[in-house]
Chains A and B, each alone.
Chain A
Amino acid sequence: MNKNSNQKIITQILCIAWLIFTLFPLYWIFVTSFKSPIAVTGGPTYLPWIDFEPTLNAWHDAFSGSRGDFFATFFNSVWISVAASLIAVVFGSMAAYALVRFTFKVKLLAGVVFAASGMSCYLLAKEIFDWKDTTSMGFAFLCALILSVTSNRLPLPGPILRNNDVVFWFVSQRMMPPIVSAFALYMLYSKIGKDSGVRLLDSFAGLTLCYVAFSLPLVVWLMRDFFESLPIEVEEAALVDDVPRWRIFLEIVIPMAKPGLVAVTMITIGFVWNEFLFALILTTGDWQTLPVLLSGQNSYRGDEWWAIAVANIIAIAPMLIITILLGRMMRSGLMLGSIR
């Protein structure tokens, strides 16, 4: 008995120590945001009213706009991360569901046809028809798509890619360093802007599209696991009852996968909210997001830590709130009673 309770006390002490360890940075940022410059530069101070006299100056500065437009940037981040996550989750979960419940057979040669015809059609359009870059690319993409889909129906020899390969292909999009595609994307966006006048650089649509593309692999991969864990009999019962597929997906599968959807949405919002590289390269001012503004704080007027702390809190708070709100919806046990 005695040994047992000792162990309990030690465990509790260790837990509390770990809690302090993890929460301290948050506390540090929080108190620093209320410090005056003297309280920061004159050696470490920890407790308001005892170590230093708290002041709202740093918060005033942030909201007055003297350190960058926090309001606009904050809402840029909100709109872009919410829009990108929703679009990615909607399309990603549909793709994931299809990959779980239907069999795909893609011939490797059809993929080769896509690559080869894509490149040759681009060259054809660009060099011989002398079309603009963007037009040539669109043309090449369409041609490659039609040719490869058609050739997939022909009895081509060679290996056949199945569902798992398709998923791997999705995930492989995230394997190369993002900087590789970031510059390519910059070039593409600026070309499209020049050729067609559609503004993608430093725009809501451009950044959102980019984030959708880079979130999709993750969403597909995670949602596939969630859908796979759902009992197929529930869907079969509906199939026998002549419920159309789209209604099975919307009215039965989605409600059952709700905890998964919420979790994946949160992860995606977190990813987009914190993303820095694409935001830095693809925006110049109007649609800058919080990470870019935050990184600029250091050089804006020197390392004014009280101001940086305020900026940090503005960036962290929404994610904390989302986690607390949505975390409740992630509780398990939703499937209870369906089977067994």
Chain B
Amino acid sequence: MAQVRLVSITKKFGETTVIPGLDLDIADREFVVLVGPSGCGKTTTLRMIAGLEEASGGNIFVGERDVTNLRPGLRNCAMVFQNYALYPHMSVRDNIAYGLKVRKTPKHEVERLVNDAARILELDSMLDRRPKNLSGGQRQRVAIGRAIVREPDVFLFDEPLSNLDAKLRIEMRTEIKNLHQRLKATMVYVTHDQVEAMTLADRVVVMKDGIIEQVADPITLYENPANTFVASFIGSPSMNFLSVKLIRKESTFFVELAEGSKLKVPESMNKRFEPYIDHTLTLGIRPEHLENAGEAHPAVANVQVNVLEPLGPHTLLLGQIGQEKLTAQIEARSNVRPGVTYPIGFSMDQIHIFDSKSGRVL
């Protein structure tokens, strides 16, 4: 068991800098998910921990060991790949046992480890099959089995579920989470799916262009995003962003939308926003914090309804305020129709205010 420490890691491919400098501490037994859009350097980071990619600068520690210049095999990491990467000419049993055999583990020990892994992953009945006779989910379980028997310091997952269909992905997600609770091992997991990131992680690392935008536990990430990128990336459907002006009337603060509506800012936030009076800012609010406005709602704006998407428990209203797009989550049975203008209420204690230029939260 071991912590992982990345100290000012950089990566260049020729002239292109993929990761300009990255620091990350992963605690022992922690489940950390690296998430971000494609090309953000998350997979490269994982591959550098595994040793499959050489770091251009900086140091990587696994446990107390500096593994920066060690070859992959000596880092005691186990990796699960997106496309499974099973040995096609070996049976499931041999796939799982191959690494052990190469390392000359005693036969009865190999047997025990393989059987244990097979039991945990419910592969018992398939040990003698070839990978080509398995379904996608089973193949990925074999790949995970291969990682488990290694008894590694760190498990590395490179988008292991993205080749599976939606239903299987949710099942395997639960299995991986169970596995983490059972093995109590350090796990680093890469995905571009924010739902996967939120559901699995103890801590989520949101990356963009090789830079860490925010590291936090899933709830903090959702409630207190550090900037507009994190705010828009985490949560589904995405957070709404509206251009607003912060104004003060006597001791009360308002945000004024582009089309003119004024929404009262809760007093508890006054102190935080005081320096930004009369600045043009970005208001962020999640669709689930918008609602059908009753008559007595304190903060209402009129929304031009374009499309309605009923989801069952609630309905998504896609519309616009002035020129700005807005998605609201409203009651399933409401009398809204596309084409009309409809009053939407803002839960003002759930708003986020961002600097329009830097995107940083205020």
Contacts and interface: CB of A to CB of B under 8 A. Distances in A.
B83 A237 contact: no
Contacts, number: 96
A182 B72 CA distance: 48
A242 interface: yes
A15 interface: no
Interface stretch (B98-106, B173-181, B203-211, B218-226): B98-106
Interface string B276-293: 000000000000000000
A238 B79 CA distance: 10
Interface in B130-159: 130-134, 136, 139, 143, 146, 150, 156
A243 B146 CA distance: 13
A338 B163 CA distance: 13
Nearest to B102: A243
B78 A338 contact: no
Contact of A237 (B79, B130, B133): B79
Interface in A50-66: none
Contacts of B131: 336-338
Interface string B69-105: 0011111011101111111110000000011001100
Interface in A91-121: none
B53 to A, nearest CB: 10
Interface string A214-258: 000000000000000001011011111111100100011001101
A240 B89 contact: no
B52 interface: yes
A283 B298 CA distance: 103
Contact of B78 (A240, A334, A340): A240
Contacts of A234: 85-88
Q: Which of B71, B85, B98 has the most CB of A within 10 A?
A: B85
B54 to A, nearest CB: 12
Contact of B98 (A231, A243, A338, A339): A243
A7 to B, nearest CB: 36
Contact of B83 (A240, A333, A340): A340
A242 B83 contact: no
Contacts of B71: 239
A242 B81 contact: no
Contacts of B143: 237
A187 interface: no
B6 interface: no
A252 B131 CA distance: 14
A244 B98 CA distance: 12
Contacts of B89: 255-256, 258, 334
A241 B50 CA distance: 10
A146 interface: no
Given A239-B72, A240-B73, A337 B52 contact: no
A241 B86 contact: no
B67 to A, nearest CB: 12
Contacts of A256: 87-89
Given A334-B88, A340-B163, A241 B134 contact: no
B224 to A, nearest CB: 36
Contacts of B134: 337
A256 B88 CA distance: 7
A20 interface: no
Contacts of B41: none
Contacts of A236: 50, 52, 72, 79, 81, 85
Interface of B: 50-52, 71-75, 77-79, 81-89, 98-99, 102-103, 130-134, 136, 139, 143, 146, 150, 156, 163
Given A231-B85, A238-B99, A337-B133, 10 more contacts: A236-B79, A239-B72, A240-B50, A240-B79, A243-B102, A256-B87, A335-B88, A337-B88, A339-B85, A340-B84
Interface of A: 231, 233-234, 236-244, 247, 251-252, 255-256, 258, 333-340
19 contacts: A231-B83, A233-B82, A233-B85, A236-B85, A237-B81, A237-B143, A239-B73, A240-B72, A240-B73, A241-B98, A244-B102, A251-B98, A255-B87, A256-B88, A336-B131, A337-B133, A338-B87, A339-B86, A340-B136
